[in-house]
Amino acid sequence: MLKWILAVMITFALSAVSLKWLAEPFVWIFGFLFLLCLVSAAWCRRSAVRAAAVNAGVVFLGLALFELYLTLSASSPFHLDRQSDKPYSVLHPVLGYRPSPDNRVISRRTHGGEPVYDAVYTFDSRALRISPPAAPDGIAGSILFFGGSYTFGYGVNDDETLPYQTGLKTGGRYRVENFGFEGYGPHQMLAALESGLVDSLAQKPVLHVVYQAIYGHVKRVTGRAEWDRSGPRYEIRDGEAVFAGRFDQVETGKWRVLWERNLAKFRIGQRIRQRGIPFNSRDIDLFAAIVDRARGICRRKYPTSTFTVLFWDETGVDVCQEIIEKLRKRNLNVVLLSGVLPELEKNDGLPLRLGPRDRHPNSETHARLAEFLIRHLDL
């Protein structure tokens, strides 16, 4: 009995080490459990228990082999190369992280040796992606853009992003500010507005605020994004989003975050859940409350401005409807991009993307959205 207890302890210790330090830990974990079952069967004298241990060992062996298969088949042929004199991003006390200011980045991505995109990202002294120059005279006001990589313009050149195209197509009559960055969610938008960061960077009067949302932003506001561990955390109190520190400073939800991060390493679980959504209705409530709070601050600080949500309502993602309903329940102005970009409902919107290997919008899509936005906002 003592030998068996020691074997169990060693098995769980090795499993914990694998989970902490190895990239594909569940291949090893199931392998260790398989060995434990074999040892248990060899040491056990009761035939029924021995048979149960053997059967369990067969199951764990099958899981280990299937996990290994998924690991090998999922080996990414993607290669991302970024060249710049400064780090691509740096820590920030308000946003969690932001681009390095005064930086020019050459970003290239390939898949199996084939190019996916080749783009240049340029950031100004305020750590914002550059926008087109405003006309020297007759500036009507500012337009502020918020969001993640879709707003930032992942995979396209500086002059091909939605904010840049909007400024370009309106002849420089507006100052256009791109506050988007890779991996951002609405919590970065709200934190930037609450902290006064936007006021310190944007010129008044602010006429329009545009937030571009995808359903994946719901997960980001919960702190379960691997890249955003120091981002601003919010919780709902009396129906309103309230700042509650950084994700890495708050103990509440610590075990849930840990569970999600470890579960992301379990390829069989991810395969089962690949059509599922890793968040629930309460997370959607938080997402909607954060967007609503941002709209409220804009109303107070920029009383003559409009606040528009551009939402990528993806085909086949059931949760999109719940997101739309909860945003509209708060009387937010939500524009469904399936009505603007008909291709979004066909063939997974492939013509709108950088390509079959990358779902980010291509330069033509950014230009079309800019043309729509100009009509929608009557610019």
pLDDT digits (tens, 9 = 90+) for 319-351: 899 999 999 999 999 999 999 999 887 766 788
Confidence (pLDDT) at 255: 59
Confidence (pLDDT) at 275: 47
Query: What proportion of the chain, given as a percentage, has pLDDT over 90?
Result: 61
pLDDT at residue 315 above 50?
A: yes
Confidence (pLDDT) at 257: 59
Confidence (pLDDT) at 47: 82
Instruction: Give tens-digit pLDDT for 113-136.
Output: 889 999 999 999 999 999 999 888
pLDDT at residue 144 above 90?
A: yes
Instruction: Give tens-digit pLDDT for 211-229.
Output: 999 999 999 999 888 799 8
Confidence (pLDDT) at 46: 82
- Helices vs. strands in the chain: H and E counts, helices first: 13, 14
Q: What average pLDDT does range 304-313 have in this prediction?
A: 96
Q: Comparing C-alpha atoms, which of 338, 341, 333 is closest to residue 371? A: 341
pLDDT at residue 254 above 80?
A: no
Instruction: Give tens-digit pLDDT for 94-117.
Output: 999 999 999 999 999 998 788 999
More confident residue, 42 or 75: 42
The string of DSSP letters for 246-271 reads: EGGG--TTHHHHHHHHHHTT-HHHHH
Confidence (pLDDT) at 278: 63
Confidence (pLDDT) at 68: 84
Q: What average pLDDT does range 40-67 have in this prediction?
A: 87
Report which DSSP code applies to 202. Answer: S
Mean pLDDT value across the chain: 89
Q: Helices 2-21 and 25-43 meet at what angle, rounded to 10?
A: 170
Of the pLDDT bands very low, low, confident and very high (cuts 50, 70, 90), residue 22 is: confident
Q: Comparing C-alpha atoms, which of 207, 217, 134 is closest to residue 181? A: 217
